Structure 1
Amino acid sequence: MRIFTSRAAKAVCLVALVAATASCGLPRSGPTKREIFQGSVLKKGDAFIVTVNSRVTRVTSVTPAFGFSSGFQTAGVIGSDVIAPGDRLGLTIFENVKDDPLLGNTGQRVSQLQEVQVDGQGYIFVPYAGKVKASGQTPDSLRQIVTRKLDTQTPDPQVQVQRVAGDGSTVTMSGSVGAQGVFPIERGTRTLSAMLAKAGGVSIEPDIAIVRVTRGNKSGKVWLRDLYANPSLDIALRPGDIVTVEPDNRAFVALGATGQQSRVPFKNQNLSALEALAIVGGLNTATADPTGVFVLRNEPAEIANAVLGRKDLTGDQRMVYVLDLTQPTGLFEARDFLVRDGDTVYVTEAPYVQWQKTLSAITGATGTASSLANAGG
């Protein structure tokens, strides 16, 4: 009877010691599942805790709304041969005389005017023809104008006009492109995708590439993948456009019993909770609780009301979405639930892990005490 009482007393003491040790604040990766649930509005906290299901997934599946306004999409392709201020032209003039040509030296029937600059008002100067309005003309129409002006001074002149470079109709390519610089809008580069190809494509992963076009005080952007998949997004370019390729700057934070704890950039346009866990190395098999996978975010009132079936919430709401991977559909829910920019993905430790730490602390302390007692004896 005394032995039983002694053992029972020891057991009670051990339980008390374990509880006391656990309450002393042993090291851990974050709050427990119970502590997170204590923050629920149902328990006078300030967060709504929601179990993820197919309805919640549908309501919260929000992706960045990129695209071009109608002003970008309805702008037609400009004629690549239309001359604009800033363009450089090449003129070749053939004269039907040998002894005393108008433009060349004696015996020189062909005269070349290379790199003729179209000034800011759209004019060029041609000897003996004077100032000629070139802006708005095609090379062929300008050829006819120059021919008429020279025809009265030299017999039967033949004129050729070439657009050497489209400096007046250019697009600036910047950011993560193969070659940054100023590129002319030419016959083969009149659309966004063609100009990207001319600039050497993108220098970052296509899945995270965003293409922004700035035109005056307006701007629009699309995912690179969407640009190639949807021809309607391949807008016509205009002189002065600035095309910038930039990486997706969205990220989420991974904490708790995962393979990696850090701020993690998105790897593609849509990122599911399951993919987010995979990126950080999955659950820590030694410590993670698969029933305690949480996604924390500040949710706009519109979405929060839809998730909770309410209409009275205003302003951003703190939401904690719960994923239980042990449920029959748990992995499917994690596969379909989208992580958004700024989310925190947190995995709690399994309950037994804390007990293991507590027992290790006790047995470690007991072993140290015994060693000191033996040394003192």
Structure 2
Amino acid sequence: MNIKSKFFIMVLALGALSGCSMVGSHIELDAKTIESNDASNDISTMVMVHPLTVESVSEFKSPLPQSRANPSLQSQIASYEYRVGAGDVLNVIVWDHPELTTPAGQFRSPSDSGLWVDADGTIFYPYIGRVDVLHKTVSEIRAIIAKRLAKYVEKPQVDVNVAAFRSQKVHITGEVAQPGQQPITNIPMTLLDAVNMAGGLSENANWKKVTIVRDGVKETTSLYALMQRGDMQENRLLQAGDIINVDSNDNQNVYVFGEVQNPKLLNITRNGMSLTAALSSVGGINELEADATGIFVIRGREVDAMNSKKTLDSDNHYIADLYQLDIKDATALVVGTEFELEPKDIVYVTAAPISRWNRVIRQLLPTISGFDTLTNGVRRVRNWPN
């Protein structure tokens, strides 16, 4: 038996011993049920590839919101009237009859000296007794009081106003400077008004996703389109009980891996992030290792458990879109500036073929070197004089 044969037998024996002594804890798959994978479920067949070129990049670019008016909102604001609720405070003035006017003192504010609306929606007023004011406008309340006072006062001149708005509120939460309650008043409040009164958006706000919950129904709107692009269709007239939540941008992330200088997680800014901006944020590609033709953006699709069992007859079968940018000519980075990344996108830069080959060689070198050293040692032992 020659030296090489003895060497390989020795390596196998050492491998068996090391396998027994170093394998540690593990999970046996024997006797366990393993789900079978059909050939049709090969992940490579579930990805749609889209080359990014000067001609094609516009197809994948989401249209920017356009400046638009909102006639419906303007109509709602023009016809808006505040309706009194339980807990509000009213002031009543009867001209030329100070004894019937809500008293005010030097040290008492109108809200302290006014008429509170009780829980049953009524107020007490001299001569006429209880007056039902719930869900009525000040004009309607004025007419009711004047009509009932006419029995006691000739042609009464009555004025009614709300001294304190306490019955109706909207709630604004999330990434604003001052989250909390805001009262509904006789001045109509829109979504934009509420955000401004809350001190504006915080640094971590996702202003492209703002939710309004009304009577258990959730609606999503975009402050980016409203505030940055002037799309008034995104504005809303708020109502009592509305809950506005400005989401955080914590989940507005993209992942950059592969042959780049500094792989890391990036946060999409308020103004978005292009593919070129993402590459710049990680220091660019590794010029010595990267394959300039293999700049990929992996964008997952929502996968239906039922669709995962279907064949490729339906486009719904694809689980991801793969966008490929070739920057062998660095001017192609201009194309990357036109491709906007979306949350959860994965930017991956592949290694050049020569780099992959070099890595294989580097993996093998220690083994080859060790084999050469061991062989030379065996030869010296065989040649050692008895």
3-state DSSP class of the match of 1:315? helix
Unaligned runs of 5+ in 2: 1-40, 304-311, 381-386
Q: Is the 8 Å Cα contact of residues 253 and 344 (structure 2) preserved in structure 1?
A: yes
Question: 1 CA distance for matches of 2:102 and 2:271?
Answer: 63
Identity %: 23
* Secondary structure of residue in 1 paired with 2:284: coil
TM-score, length-scaled by structure 1: 0.65
**Uncovered stretches (5+) of structure 1, i.e. residues with no partner:** 1-40, 302-310
Tell me the residue number matched to 1:9.
none
**Separation of aligned partners in 2, 1:103 and 1:235:** 38
Per-residue deviation at 1:265?
3.1
- Give the secondary-structure state (helix, strand or coil) at the position aligned to 1:293: strand
Query: Compared with structure 1, are the counterparts of its residues 149 and 296 closer, same or farther at alpha carbon in structure 2 (3 Å cutoff)?
Result: same
Deviation readout 1:8-27 (Å, 9 max, x if unpaired) = xxxxxxxxxxxxxxxxxxxx
Deviation digits for residues 164-209 of structure 1, max 9, x if unmatched? 3333342211111222222122354522211221121112356745
Q: Cα deviations across residues 105-153 of structure 1 (Å, max 9, x unaligned)?
A: 9xxxx99873533345543222432221223444355345335544645
**Aligned match of 2:314:** 313
Residue 281 of structure 1 aligns with which residue?
283
Task: State how 1:212-227 maps to structure 2 within 5 Å.
Answer: 212-227=211-226
Instruction: Check if 1:231 corresponds to 2:232.
Output: yes
In the superposition, relative to structure 1, how do residues 241 and 225 fare at CA in structure 2: closer, same or farther (>3 Å)?
same
The corresponding residue for 1:291 is: 293
Aligned residue number for residue 189 of structure 2: 190
Question: Which residue of structure 2 aligns with residue 59 of structure 1?
Answer: 59
**Matched residue type, 1:220:** E
1:34-82 superposed Cα distances (whole Å, 9 cap, x missing partner) = xxxxxxx9997553444222454333334799xxxx9x85871276653
Q: 1: CA distance between counterparts of 2:44 and 2:124?
A: 82
- 1:202 matched residue in structure 2: 201
User: CA distance change for structure 1 residues 209 and 45 in 2, over 3 Å: closer, same or farther?
Assistant: closer
Amino acid at match of 2:248: P
Of 116-125 and 336-345, deviating more is 116-125
Q: C-alpha deviations, 1:254-310, integer Å up to 9, x for none?
A: 211224434433224543221222333332345333222111233589xxxxxxxxx
8 Å CA contact 2:92, 2:160 repeated in 1: yes
Could you tell me how far apart the structure 2 residues matched to 1:95 and 1:51 are?
79
Match of 2:339 in 1: 337
Q: Residue 61 of structure 2 aligns to which amino acid in structure 1? A: S
Q: Which amino acid aligns with 2:233?
A: S
SS in 2 for 1:161: strand
SS at match of 1:342: coil
Deviations 1:338-360 (A, max 9, x none): 32333221112234444555666
1:282 aligned counterpart, secondary structure: coil
* C-alpha distance 328-280 of structure 1, shift in aligned 2 (>3 A): closer
Q: What is the CA RMSD across the aligned residues, in angstroms?
A: 4.6
DSSP-derived class of the 1:77 partner: helix
- Residue 174 of structure 1 corresponds to 173
Q: Is the alpha carbon distance of 1:222 and 1:260 closer, same or farther for their aligned partners in structure 2, counting shifts above 3 Å? A: farther
Matched residue, 2:260: 258
TM-score by length of 2: 0.64
